[in-house]
């Protein structure tokens, strides 16, 4: 099933988000820049990042960022800006729950305002896919709409209403919270409430016991790392910066040994 983050015409959707958020970075991108050294951070995947406000902003600060976005018009906007600013950023036309990246190649994942665009039945698989591409102990910065205060939530989004539900969804995919889950309000639309959290990838194939920072109660998580088995994944041929590419499918056994996050066919 093809899943899109934006309903309607791609151009309309891309222009809507550009007019709404512009090129200012999200809270997640700002936090990444505060916490990570671009020389040591490795690759940052901006997943469902629209026109690339986070990916390009991080690239300006010398991070190796990759924008993964299903909207081709949004990628076109990102490509034009990257070209004008002479930024080296990877642009990939793809969507969750299938990412055309090798396993354990991303150091950081930026999932800001993306999860609520994915139907509920695909959310667990999407987070497991992010878990697959992150390196051991990799960091996930995640934010998703929870509810609209005093207004009806649009039917074309799939919010995570409860704070605990937001936490449990990430925990069940193999992540542990690095800090307390916080409720945020949109800067321009204060009635839009969303959850924001920072998570760390868990890699152990055994029972894990840790404290839930949001409530203080202990959680026992039975996590099986079998999701990282080698399966059919996508391959990319990336030769030049500031280009968007489509992926071809194939099978390869040694992808986890490659240094680059892209599988070269």
**How many Cα atoms are found within 13 Å in the side-chain-facing hemisphere of 236?**
20
The confidence score (pLDDT) of residue 108 equals 98
Number of other CB atoms surrounding residue 157 within 10 Å: 16
DSSP state of 247: -
Question: In terms of CATH, what superfamily is 10-257?
Answer: Vaccinia Virus protein VP39 (3.40.50.150)
Residue-wise pLDDT tens digits, 44-68: 999 999 999 999 999 999 999 999 9
Residue-wise pLDDT tens digits, 141-155: 999 999 888 888 888
Sign of CA dihedral 131, 34, 186, 81: negative
Nearest to 45 by CA among 55, 59, 35, 60: 55
**Chain length of the chain:** 265
The confidence score (pLDDT) of residue 261 equals 58
The rounded mean pLDDT for the chain is 79
Predicted structure pTM score: 0.76
Segments making up each domain of the chain, as ranges = 10-257
């Amino acid at each position: 099933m093809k899943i899109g983050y934006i309903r309607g015409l791609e151009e309309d959707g891309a222009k809507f988000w550009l007019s709404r958020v512009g090129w200012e970075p999200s809270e997640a991108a700002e936090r990444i820049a505060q916490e990570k050294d671009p020389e040591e951070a490795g690759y940052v995947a901006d997943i469902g990042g629209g026109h690339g406000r986070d990916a390009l902003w991080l690239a300006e600060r010398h991070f190796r960022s990759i924008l993964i976005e299903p909207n081709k018009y949004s990628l076109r906007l990102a490509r034009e800006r990257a070209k004008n600013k002479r930024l080296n950023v990877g642009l990939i036309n793809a969507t969750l729950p299938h990412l055309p990246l090798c396993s354990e190649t991303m150091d950081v994942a930026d999932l800001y305002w993306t999860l609520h665009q994915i139907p509920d039945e695909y959310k667990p698989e999407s987070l497991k896919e992010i878990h697959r591409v992150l390196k051991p102990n990799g960091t996930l910065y995640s934010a998703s709409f929870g509810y609209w205060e005093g207004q009806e939530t649009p039917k074309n989004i799939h919010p995570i209403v409860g704070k605990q539900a937001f936490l449990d969804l990430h925990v069940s995919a193999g992540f542990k919270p690095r800090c307390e889950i916080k409720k945020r309000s949109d800067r321009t639309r204060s009635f839009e409430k969303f959850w924001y959290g920072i998570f760390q990838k868990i890699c152990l194939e055994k029972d894990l016991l840790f404290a839930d920072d949001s409530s203080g109660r202990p959680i026992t998580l039975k996590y099986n790392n079998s999701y990282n088995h080698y399966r059919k994944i996508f391959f990319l041929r990336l030769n030049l910066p500031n280009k968007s590419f489509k992926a071809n499918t194939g099978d390869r056994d040694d992808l986890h040994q490659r240094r680059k996050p892209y599988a070269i066919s």
